[in-house]
Amino acid sequence: MASEKLTEYELKRLENIRRNDEMLAALKIQSKATELFAAAKRQRVEAKSYNVKSEKKPKTETPVVIRRSLRSRGMPPDSKGLSDDSVDTSKLKDESPTKFKASDKISCPITIAYDEAVSDRPLIEAIMGMSKRETHSRASNGEVFSGSKDGDFLNDKREAGSGVSFHTEKRREDNAWTSLQLQSLTLKAENVARVVPGRITSVRFFPSSNARMIVAGNKFGNVGFWNVDFAGDEGNGIYLYRPHKVPISGILVQEHCLSKIYTSCYDGFIRMMDAENQAFNMVFSSDDSIFSLSQPTNDVNSFYIGEGRGGLSIWDNRVGKCSSKLALHEDRINTIDFNSRNPHIIATGSSDATACTWDLRSINGDQLKVLSTFTHKRAVQSAYFSRSGCTLATTSTDDVIGIYTGANFEDASTIYHYNQTGRWLSSFRAIWGWDDSNIFIGNMKRGVDVVSPVERSRVMTLQSPLMTAIPCRFDAHPYEIGTLAGATSGGQVYMWTTAEDAS
DNA sequence: AATCATCTTACCGTT
DNA sequence: AACGGTCCAGATGATT
């Protein structure tokens, strides 16, 4: 059945990968060479950046207070604990205009965080335009595909036909393109930008087949948008907001509704930026910090929220209530991921040094029956299913990338990867590329390691003199194969792309 | 059990 | 080119 098909698929891939051995070997040599070259000199290039008025610099004002509920601190619910305001008591005078108060339960206005003179109208228009085109192409095509015959908006740097839908592409079981694409991955100067100040904690592409819009959230609660294809006169396509005051832990943009951008935060709130109504609305609030946010692909009203010490809340946005509050882990849940083959299966990665798979159909009170537990020696920073859903990849501070395959992911292997990012960088999280054959993860030498889960080793390292800082957090464009965003602790985003040789 | 104290770490702005 | 500020992640070890 399914498992037989899987092995067949795996075998086929293995065969392909063996065929590409020589090419990969060549790549290794090449990457060694670039490594040496890059190490030789590192220049400081100032590329695109958000607009900052120097008087309004983001001072690191407020001490970061991790929210903890009264319950989890062992206090009765009515006792006076950490009040909402204690998060932002001191030194708020030089704050950005988006005054955040925890008491803003309903909404707060969308405001440019730094340069008020720069209008965000182009952004709103771009988002609304994307949104419109997306629904149009879906309606006319049945399937998501960028016909791009009406590509007036996107200045058509890309050739027609390059916006190949991932969904159609992935059906091709031939992965011969992989090493070719890998080889052609490049970082261009125009694809480097400082999107937010400070450390980026979360980065996301808009799930649009005909645009490249990147959202980044940082340590200070800023959310920055980078319209990579921006071609207007005013500004540079970068827009900065501040819907939160402490680190952003998750960004969510729904494929069918690009005008709603959800952000989760250590402050315990989920807000939705509604580009249509120009507001940051409160969606969800918790007494605990939110560390992770996810959503099943086919249910836009369900939010899976990792909060507090190991809690997972399932929020029904239609009803406006939590349908479940589950106690899954001993420590914070860093990632929540849904399996594409079976939407009832999720994987969680936790600082309690485990990753787990769960069956959502087995909810019983605040308990969920664990399917499998994958144990690391230290905190697990991420646990993501591959595109096909057949493999799970974990990243841990114990310097291991874990690979789990098989019908119940029982077939485990480990790949060594140095993951000691220290205190000033966001932790590394290995993400999957556009099929099951590649994993991308940052390294401490300002490179992007490409790891083959089948070979169980690094097959190449992306490096560029333009990458002046360590890329920690990544997102792969959901529709454009080979378009990869890496985000740094200095607020920069690097968008790697493949050389567009028309095929 | 929980809290505290300490150490690690890289980037950026200022000199 | 060198230096200081960052500040709450995560581990370890000591103290209640």
DSSP string across A411-479: EEEEEE-----TTTSPPP--EE-SSTT-EEEEETTTEEEEEETTTTEEEEEE--TT--S-EEEEEE-SS
Percent of chain A scored above 90 by pLDDT?
A: 60
Give the CA-to-C1' distance from A316 to B10 in angstroms: 40
- Whether residue A245 has pLDDT greater than 80: yes
> What average pLDDT score do residues A91-101 get?
30
**Whole-number distance in Å between A210 CA and C5 C1':** 42
Q: Report which DSSP code applies to A121.
A: H
Residue-wise pLDDT tens digits, A290-302:
999 999 998 999 9
The pLDDT confidence band at residue A96, using thresholds 50, 70 and 90, is very low
Q: Which residue is nearest to nucleotide B12 (CA to C1')?
A: A490
What is the distance between the alpha carbons of residues A141 and A138, in angstroms, rounded to a whole number?
5
Q: Which two tokens stand for residue A58?
A: 């983001």
CA A362 → C1' C12, Å?
37
* In the predicted structure, residue A100 carries a pLDDT above the cut 50: no
For residue A503, pLDDT over 80 is answered with no
Q: The domain A121-130+144-502 is classified under which CATH number: 3.40.50.1000, 3.10.20.740, 2.130.10.10, 3.40.50.11540?
A: 2.130.10.10
Is the CB atom of residue A90 positioned under 7 angstroms from any atom of strand C?
A: no
- The torsion angles phi and psi of A54, rounded to 5 degrees, stand at -60, -30
Residue A466 pLDDT class (50, 70, 90 cuts): very high
Token pair for A140:
């006319």
Res A169 pLDDT > 50: no
Protein-contacted bases of chain B (C-beta within 7 A) = 2-3, 8-14
Contacts of A102 (CB under 8 A, 6+ apart): A84, A85, A87, A267, A269, A285
Q: Label residue A117 by pLDDT band (50, 70, 90).
A: low
Nucleotide lying nearest to A425, CA to C1' measure: B10
Q: Is the pLDDT of residue A235 over 70?
A: yes
A95-CA/C4-C1' distance, Å: 23
Q: How many Å apart are A136 CA and B8 C1'? A: 52
Average pLDDT for chain A? 77
| Predicted pLDDT of residue A487 | 98
Query: Which residue blocks in A333-411 are alpha helix, DSSP H?
Result: none
The pLDDT of residue A26 is above 60 = no
- Would you say the C-beta of A394 is within 7 Å of strand C? no
The answer, yes or no, to whether residue A175 has pLDDT greater than 90, is no
pLDDT 10s digits, A64-90? 445 666 445 444 443 322 223 322 322
Task: Answer yes or no: is pLDDT of A99 > 80.
Answer: no
Report pLDDT for A312.
97
| Residues close to nucleic acid strand B (C-beta < 7 A) | A 57, 73-74, 194, 197, 420-425, 444, 446, 468-470, 488-492
Question: In the predicted model, what is the mean pLDDT of residues A243-269?
Answer: 95
Minimum-distance nucleotide, CA of A468 to C1': B11
Which nucleotides along chain C are within 7 A of a protein C-beta? 6-12
Q: Of all nucleotides in the shown strands, which has a C1' nearest the CA of A421?
A: B9
